[in-house]
Chains A and B, each alone.
Chain A
Amino acid sequence: MTAVKQVDSSAHYVPPVDHLVRGGFAWRRVLVTSGVLCALVVTVVFTVMIGPAQLSAGEVWASILHHLGLGGFAGGVEISALRDAMVWELRLPRVLTAGAVGAGLALCGVIMQSLTRNPLADPYLLGLSSGASLGAVIVLLFAVGVALPIAAFSGALLALVGSLTLARSMGAVTPVRTILAGLAISQVCSAGVSFIIFWSASGDSYRQVLAWLMGSLGGASWSTVAIAGGALVVIGVPLMVSGNILDAFTFGEASAHSLGIRVEAWRWGLLIAVAVLTGSLVSVSGAIGFVGIIIPHAVRLLVGTGHRLLLPLSAACGAVFLMWCDTLARTIFDPREIPVGVITAAVGAPLFAFVLYRTKAGEA
């Protein structure tokens, strides 16, 4: 090609043939989206049903509708007070907490990966999980008179402030500096956690601390639903509309600037929003790994890299994924429960390898 082909300005646009192919891709998106939404509803009902005492779907619906004041729609299914309490007081709060945490982590993962342009970035990148762990361990082992979630949240925020201050002190806050600063803070906090555990943990308290460090939803209740769900609604939902902004960051910050994005304002705003959301989630569940890394990659494989769809779909898939992982965590070794972080790692690592393999194959 030696020169640009003249495009006759009077000729009207004729869609190239490959538009039809793209049309197929659009259908695939619709299909995936509706599939994921169905999975979300089905997952809530099924994971509530599963447990040491099996419940029927009818009972689950009856209990939920009854508590929402819609008992008239329950279709006459009766449910005993005990089984109703099982649904409403135990399983539903736990499933909903898992859903909110999973959705939030996946959402934060997408944003961190896109802001740092690093496929291995996760929501804990700024040392948030280590900071939260430090706060939690101090409370668990020293019986400090502070509620565990508050201590964990404060730890996460202190780590955030530490990382960003460190990143700033190195000059302009570039993705690489952000990652390095987060790593440094994370290591410092981990050292603190290890030291405290080594110094003072024993027996049961050790197991309790370990469960928290690996991430567990064993402490779920309606108040954890309120914290995680509230953070998801207040921070997560507004974040879902940042799709165009994140798209603009595809080729880095200079090109985002060229596309009319106020780079500084958005980067700081998004980083802080992600950190506060992650901190809230970690405060109720501990640092559950892998959700924030693999879900974004898996969803990209399904619907491509455009963030307008990627953000909400990742949130929905993260919710489904963690609800099932937590169901496994509390049932496979029944009556013993294992930390959900063990399950997400066990399921997540092979899935991650598969996603990498598929991504590679797609590029070749």
Chain B
Amino acid sequence: MTFSQLSAKKVSWSIGDTRIVDNISHAFRAGAVTGLLGPNGSGKSSLVRLLSGLNSPASGLVELDGRSIGSLGSRQRARTMAVMDQHHGTSQPTSVRQAVALGRIPHRSLLGGEHVVDRQIVGSVLSALDLTDFADRDLDTLSGGERQRVHIARALVQQPRVLLVDEPTNHLDIKAQFDILAILRQVATQAGSDNFSGTEAPTVVVALHDLNLAARYCDQLILLCEGRVVAAGKVQEVLTPANIRKVYGVDAAVMSHPVTGEFMVALAPLTHSAQTDQAHPVSQQRAATRGSEAAHSASVPAR
């Protein structure tokens, strides 16, 4: 297993007195997709912003290639790491090719224009993401899924070795959600292809809401709750019914998909008695009735 260029070391961050990210350490794996999971407000987006250097941690360190991300020059950082954030509207009519070509900015000087090699890279990423036919269309005329592909393309022409993506599947239809995550998966496993990055296997980190998408497309998962890591590791180790109940407050069962046989999660609201329980600290009695798994849940360490 290859550990990558990107790691968080005891990273914490607050807004006012509220801890948003609390003492998170993790070495992200290269050549793999790592999913960040957790309910709203669990710190997923904040962690992405800290990893990207957009916010500086109050304490702790984010390291890229063994150097603190704050100490890297902006351009040097942007040549190594690309970020796809959640908000990217624009007020100006922008063509697909133009939007994608923005990703070449870190690779040129302040005054530099587009070179032949820039156009080649943009062209090959457009065709790799099936966007060539849209290249001269205005971004506003695209569907949500197509537009999201454009933003991934922009990140890819940066030729990053680390790709951070914050909830890329929001508001997309189901097939588009699969498509987007399939692309990210492909990026992570395409080490050495000059299409995407250098010789090293890329590190992909993606914040997600949908547990089954995460199960299907991620190699590693980090489950966050109130800014802390509740569980981290392989999909089946992280997505246990106990963890899901603890973090999301819903009932969960894990099973094999009836057709594909893949690991999947079935979810349901907590039963009535469970809801009353949730209002109070989880009772020992309830933990006992749920059997060994719930007992395990109560004893899962908070990291």
A residues contacting B by CB (< 8 A) are: 1-7, 9, 13, 15-16, 18-19, 21-22, 113-114, 117-119, 241, 244-245, 247-248, 250-252, 254-255, 257-262, 300, 304-306, 308, 359, 362-363
- Contact between chains at A260 and B110 (CB < 8 Å): no
- Residue numbers in B under 8 Å from A306 (CB-CB): 98
- Contact between chains at B129 and A4 (CB < 8 Å): yes
Number of interface residues of B (CB under 8 A): 65
> Is B278 on the interface with A (CB-CB < 8 A)?
no
Residue in A closest to B184 when the chains form the complex, CB atoms: A4
- Residue numbers in B under 8 Å from A260 (CB-CB): 73-79, 105-106
Known contacts A241-B110, A359-B93, A248 near B75 by CB under 8 Å: no
- Residue numbers in A under 8 Å from B300 (CB-CB): none
- Contact between chains at B120 and A13 (CB < 8 Å): yes
- Contact between chains at A305 and B186 (CB < 8 Å): no
Which residue of A114, A261, A308 contacts B74 across the interface (Cβ within 8 Å)?
A261
- Contact between chains at A258 and B90 (CB < 8 Å): no
What mask results when residues 119 to 159 of chain B are scored 1 for a CB within 8 Å of chain A, else 0? 11001101111101001101011000000000100010010
- Contact between chains at A16 and B77 (CB < 8 Å): no
Known contacts A7-B193, A15-B123, A248 near B90 by CB under 8 Å: no
> Is B178 on the interface with A (CB-CB < 8 A)?
yes
- Contact between chains at A258 and B130 (CB < 8 Å): no
- Contact between chains at B87 and A1 (CB < 8 Å): no
Residue in A closest to B109 when the chains form the complex, CB atoms: A244
- Contact between chains at B93 and A1 (CB < 8 Å): no
B154 to chain A, nearest CB (A): 8
Q: List 7 A-B contacts (CB under 8 A).
A: A5-B127, A6-B193, A16-B135, A18-B136, A260-B75, A304-B95, A362-B138
Give chain B interface residues in 237-263, CB to chain A under 8 Å: none
> Is B174 on the interface with A (CB-CB < 8 A)?
no
B211 to chain A, nearest CB (A): 21
Known contacts A244-B112, A257-B53, A260-B75, A4 near B187 by CB under 8 Å: yes
- Residue numbers in A under 8 Å from B136 (CB-CB): 18, 21-22
- Contact between chains at B88 and A251 (CB < 8 Å): yes
> Is B182 on the interface with A (CB-CB < 8 A)?
yes
> Is B113 on the interface with A (CB-CB < 8 A)?
yes
Given the complex of chains A and B, what is the CA–CA distance between A363 and B140 in angstroms? 7
- Contact between chains at A241 and B102 (CB < 8 Å): no
- Contact between chains at B132 and A258 (CB < 8 Å): no
- Residue numbers in A under 8 Å from B76 (CB-CB): 260
Chain B CB within 10 Å, residue with most, of A4, A118, A248: A4
- Residue numbers in B under 8 Å from A119 (CB-CB): 91-92
Chain B CB within 10 Å, residue with most, of A5, A113, A254, A359: A254
Given the complex of chains A and B, what is the CA–CA distance between A300 and B90 in angstroms? 14
- Residue numbers in A under 8 Å from B108 (CB-CB): 244
- Residue numbers in B under 8 Å from A1 (CB-CB): 130, 179
**9 extra interface residue pairs, beta carbon distance < 8 Å, beyond A5-B128, A254-B49:** A3-B186, A7-B193, A7-B195, A13-B124, A16-B126, A18-B136, A258-B83, A258-B84, A300-B92
B134 to chain A, nearest CB (A): 10
- Residue numbers in A under 8 Å from B212 (CB-CB): none
Given the complex of chains A and B, what is the CA–CA distance between A262 and B75 in angstroms? 9
- Residue numbers in A under 8 Å from B135 (CB-CB): 16, 18
Known contacts A16-B132, A250-B90, A363 near B138 by CB under 8 Å: yes
Which residue of A113, A118, A252, A258 contacts B78 across the interface (Cβ within 8 Å)?
A258
Counting residue pairs across A and B whose Cβ atoms lie within 8 Å, the total is 139
Given the complex of chains A and B, what is the CA–CA distance between A117 and B135 in angstroms? 23
- Contact between chains at B98 and A305 (CB < 8 Å): yes
- Contact between chains at B141 and A363 (CB < 8 Å): yes
Given the complex of chains A and B, what is the CA–CA distance between A117 and B127 in angstroms? 30
- Residue numbers in B under 8 Å from A251 (CB-CB): 88-90, 99, 102, 151
- Contact between chains at A9 and B195 (CB < 8 Å): yes
- Residue numbers in B under 8 Å from A359 (CB-CB): 93
- Residue numbers in A under 8 Å from B178 (CB-CB): 2
- Residue numbers in A under 8 Å from B97 (CB-CB): 22
Given the complex of chains A and B, what is the CA–CA distance between A304 and B88 in angstroms? 19
Given the complex of chains A and B, what is the CA–CA distance between A248 and B74 in angstroms? 13
Given the complex of chains A and B, what is the CA–CA distance between A132 and B271 in angstroms? 67
- Contact between chains at B79 and A363 (CB < 8 Å): no
Given the complex of chains A and B, what is the CA–CA distance between A133 and B87 in angstroms? 38
Given the complex of chains A and B, what is the CA–CA distance between A15 and B123 in angstroms? 7
- Contact between chains at B123 and A305 (CB < 8 Å): no
The list of the 3 closest CB pairs from A to B, nearest first, reads: A260-B78, A260-B106, A258-B83
- Contact between chains at B52 and A257 (CB < 8 Å): yes
- Contact between chains at A250 and B127 (CB < 8 Å): no
B11 to chain A, nearest CB (A): 18
Given the complex of chains A and B, what is the CA–CA distance between A250 and B130 in angstroms? 23
- Contact between chains at A3 and B92 (CB < 8 Å): no
Known contacts A300-B92, A305-B93, A254 near B54 by CB under 8 Å: yes
Known contacts A244-B108, A244-B110, A258-B52, A7 near B78 by CB under 8 Å: no
Give chain B interface residues in 194-213, CB to chain A under 8 Å: 194-195
- Contact between chains at B92 and A13 (CB < 8 Å): no
> Is B111 on the interface with A (CB-CB < 8 A)?
yes
B94 to chain A, nearest CB (A): 6
> Is B172 on the interface with A (CB-CB < 8 A)?
no
> Is B235 on the interface with A (CB-CB < 8 A)?
no
- Residue numbers in B under 8 Å from A3 (CB-CB): 182-183, 186
B250 to chain A, nearest CB (A): 30
- Contact between chains at B194 and A259 (CB < 8 Å): no
Given the complex of chains A and B, what is the CA–CA distance between A9 and B128 in angstroms? 12
Given the complex of chains A and B, what is the CA–CA distance between A14 and B76 in angstroms? 30
- Residue numbers in B under 8 Å from A362 (CB-CB): 93, 138
B68 to chain A, nearest CB (A): 17
- Residue numbers in A under 8 Å from B130 (CB-CB): 1, 5
Given the complex of chains A and B, what is the CA–CA distance between A183 and B90 in angstroms? 22
- Residue numbers in A under 8 Å from B132 (CB-CB): 16, 18
What mask results when residues 159 to 181 of chain B are scored 1 for a CB within 8 Å of chain A, else 0? 00000000000000000001100
